[in-house]
Structure 1
Amino acid sequence: MKSLLKIASLLLLLTIGGSTQAQTATEVAALKRELAKYKAADKLVQEHLKTFDTLDYTVFSNQQWARMHESHGKDIKVFWPDGHITTGLATHIEDMKALFVYAPDCRIKHHPIRMGSGDLTAVSGVFEGTFTKPMPIGNGKFIQPTGKKFNFPMATIGVWKDGVMVEEHLFWDNKAFMDQIGLGK
């Protein structure tokens, strides 16, 4: 971003003050091309971030799984906070659906930090919900709901290619989550 501001400032100075011997028309044209590259790269990052906002605020929070392809590649690789890694959009959707089994009101409605560079984006958010339904733990066993709310920070780093994420790295504190829903300590 500093480079972009430096280029823009130099272009402004050249436009206002005219060229000196060292600042030829060729140099100005080169700077304009460089500025155009930065603008195009920033535009792409902003598009990815807008797509990600829609993913969390609308698609995830409202369980619109049929729209997941708008932000995720079919062979997406997802790195979860508990250490497991999945490959494929269908598997990722099933993992996300599992969150709503015991907390049907799961949602992410804020991204206080949104940034990116090139094919990478990073957002932070607040993951919220209430543990109101039995939580499956395998072998036909369940943990009964505590009725407790959860509200904790999360972050996602996305790797983008051709307009969709091909990798998604999810981060949150599972201990804080367990403590908040009454299963920690």
Structure 2
Amino acid sequence: MKNFKKITIIVLTLGLIFSLLQAQSRDYKVEELNIKNFHLVDFIGWNNNMKVLAYYHSKDVKVFGDGWSTIGMEQHRESLAPMLEQYKDYKIGQHSPNVARGVWTGVVGVNYPDRNKMATIAKWKDGLITEEYLFLVQLTNDKALKINPSENAIINFSNPKDEILANTLDIQPGWSCIMEIVDGKRTAIFIRNENGSETERLVFQ
């Protein structure tokens, strides 16, 4: 298991380095930078080095979870400590989907070894996270399909149709990210559309 984790981290790191070297989209530099940095936050910071995680958060970052919030990186670090201890054998091994537009990113992270998923929506400024919303519980498909996204969502953004972003950073066209209140809970909704029809939906609270 240890060797598997090491191999997984090495492969992901090499893939990330390749993306950093190859992505050259002139029209979406902000989206490119923010997704790159979020990959570093999780794959290196969360998995191995809290200093790296802290580096990509602003000093006065605001972080929101289910019924709790923190202000400032120090409070955020303290709030993460019990979670990191409880799940110390878990590593984030994949981000999919990745949604980025302007100052916002929405990412679904896959934790190994059991492949459970969580979601993060973040607002960025100058390459740093200034607001972060964490969603640790994925709703069942039946519950997810019963939710009708409103026109007055807190946040609603979609990936640009850009070949370079798709091929180098896996920011695939057709994916959108919505944050709104559902049944009194802040909720993250990821929807994929192809040719005008919804083909996939992931919902987290």
Q: TM-score range by the shorter chain?
A: 0.5 to 0.7
**Normalised TM-score (structure 2):** 0.51
Work out whether 1:50 is the aligned partner of 2:14.
no
Structure 2 CA distance for partners of 1:55 and 1:118, relative to 1, 3 Å: same
Mapped to 2, the partners of 1:50 and 1:127 lie a distance apart of 19
Within 5 Å, give how 1:12-91 maps onto structure 2: 39-40=26-27, 42-62=28-48, 64-80=49-65, 82-91=66-75
Tell me the equivalent position of 2:84. Answer: 100
SS of residue paired to 1:39: coil
Mapped to 1, the partners of 2:132 and 2:62 lie a distance apart of 6
Structure 2 CA distance for partners of 1:171 and 1:67, relative to 1, 3 Å: same
Task: Give me the identity figure in percent.
Answer: 32
Structure 2 CA distance for partners of 1:116 and 1:175, relative to 1, 3 Å: closer
Q: CA deviation at 1:153?
A: 1.3
Q: RMSD of aligned C-alpha atoms?
A: 2.2
Number of equivalent positions? 116
Moved more, 64-73 or 152-161: 64-73
Mapped to 2, the partners of 1:175 and 1:161 lie a distance apart of 30
Mapped to 1, the partners of 2:36 and 2:96 lie a distance apart of 13
Mapped to 1, the partners of 2:107 and 2:67 lie a distance apart of 19
- Structure having the higher helix fraction is 1
Unaligned runs of 5+ in 2: 1-24, 141-205
Unaligned runs of 5+ in 1: 1-37, 130-149, 177-185
Mapped to 2, the partners of 1:88 and 1:117 lie a distance apart of 25
Tell me the equivalent position of 2:130. Answer: 166
Q: Highest CA radius of gyration, 1 or 2?
A: 1
Q: CA deviation at 1:175?
A: 8.9
